[in-house]
Amino acid sequence: MSARRTVSLITLGCARNEVDSEELAARIEAAGWQVADDADAEPSVVVVNTCGFIESAKKDSVDTLLAAADSGAKVIAAGCMAERYGEQLAEALPEAAAVLSFDDYAEIGDRLDDVLAGRPVKSHTPRDRRTLLPISPVERSASPHVHVPGHGALADLPEGIAPASGPRPPLRRRLGAGPVASLKLASGCDRRCSFCAIPAFRGAYVSRQPDELVAEAEWLAASGVREIVLVSENSTSYGKDLGDLRALEKLLPRLASVVERVRVSYLQPAELRPGLLDVIAGTPGVTPYFDLSFQHASGTVLRRMRRFGDPERFLELLDRIRAKAPEAGVRSNFIVGFPGETEEDFEALSSFLSEARLDAIGVFGYSDEEGTEAAGFDGKLPQDVVDERVAELTALAEELTAQRAEDRVGETLSVLIEEDLGDGEWEGRAAHQAPEVDGCVIVRGEGLRAGDLVTAEAVSAQGVDLVAELIAGPVSGPVGS
């Protein structure tokens, strides 16, 4: 592979960024460049798809950019951090040959040519991307084109240009193998959570068309994908800009007819309508898995966060889910040490977790994010108090999720095999476990391979992970949970 027109893509952050990188890869190939698959390749340009969510993610992004520059390649910063800071990042990080906006993605080939030739690339001035689209969601589809990463189609390419590896339904080039892939349902967010800066640099909420999603799912299935994970900033809002609040309820059965397992992520509890709950809990091929964005349990803290709910409402929602699907998996993330959080608020959160029986729990300490409402709040807690509460809740979460895994011993699981561990053991995920963020199942059996869907019985737990004995498999065709 020639190094002169070879690009290496490094992706940081969430699954949404991974989809964006795969669109970038397709556009790069369409422009006549090669994307390096070999980790040992020596590319002429490294594109780092950065994360700009919280301070630790931004630090990781900067460290990765500097490490890439040390390799001798020319380095381009793309992604959320680049979009959020633009020319500010370019000034602070002269090691980067270019800092790109999302609006540069459609012309990524030209930007790569500029960088390779040593021509300067002007960085953008950061602005609130929510202002680029109409306030009314249903008016957005008729608005002038605004580039939304991960929503590309072949029709978006310049006339006469096609991807180097041949025509494909989506403008996407898989950067990894394996039986699981993310599918971007929508981008952006219309919520105004006081701690979150994402809407300002990701923009207003934009849904992808159902037929486009089904076509991309068919392409993924043809490439060996057996589980699709639907990702967005807020999946429960899907379809509101298409004029159909039941669009996700209609879409899920269509996707389940294409691929064996469909999983939905990023659900807002306040927007989880009864009809959508029924479809996720009861549709064959759709995993009864609920990634619920609780963020806290104290009603007082949640109101300061510009969110809704309290322990009673959240527990009632969990009861409704488990009444429909007793085996359902539930995960959530929580922010500890939010401005004004009292000992009583913290105790309310701890008590809620003890009752909720969640399968996976993420705990994060609050930190100010510039441009957010919460950054100006009074009642900021000392950092040592935040750290102490994070440690305490993390320890509780580990205990509770390990107990939840113990409760699943004896269950019959449908497991998607992902990796051969050797000695007759295989790592996979059951329906209640999302890839990468949750636990796993170690299946004991012979003659399996990655991509097999098997039936196994959970015989023991190791923390949040389960050990299971193979009962039957592999399974072909659409399966349930």
- Please give the annotated binding residues for [4Fe-4S] cluster, written as ranges: 14, 51, 80, 189, 193, 196
In contact, 265 and 235? CB cutoff 8 Å: yes
Task: Using alpha carbons only, give the angle 250, 251, 255 rounded to the nearest 5 degrees.
Answer: 135
Query: Of 84, 10, 14, 12, which is closest to residue 333 (Cα–Cα)?
Result: 14
In contact, 52 and 81? CB cutoff 8 Å: yes
The CA distance from 444 to 220, in Å, is: 28
The CA distance from 95 to 13, in Å, is: 21
Q: Report phi then psi at 290, rounded to 5.
A: -125, 105
Query: Of 312, 378, 389, 304, which is closest to residue 346 (Cα–Cα)?
Result: 389
In contact, 445 and 470? CB cutoff 8 Å: yes
Dump the DSSP string for 93-150: -TT-SEE--GGGGGGHHHHHHHHHHT---PPPPP--GGGGS-SSGGGGGGSPP---TT
Helix (H) or strand (E) holding 416: strand 412-422
Sign for the pseudo-dihedral over CA of 249, 255, 259, 265: negative
Sign for the pseudo-dihedral over CA of 353, 356, 362, 365: negative
In contact, 111 and 73? CB cutoff 8 Å: no
Residues annotated in the binding site, as ranges?
Answer: 14, 51, 80, 189, 193, 196
Residue 178 has which token pair?
A: 């394996």
Strand blocks (E) in 13-95:
34-35, 45-50, 74-78
The CA distance from 454 to 12, in Å, is: 31
In contact, 36 and 7? CB cutoff 8 Å: yes
- Please tell me whether residue 388 adopts helix, strand or coil conformation: helix
Q: 446: alpha, beta or left, given left = phi > 0 and alpha = psi -120 to 50?
A: beta
Residue 446 has which token pair?
A: 């012979």
The CA distance from 481 to 263, in Å, is: 10
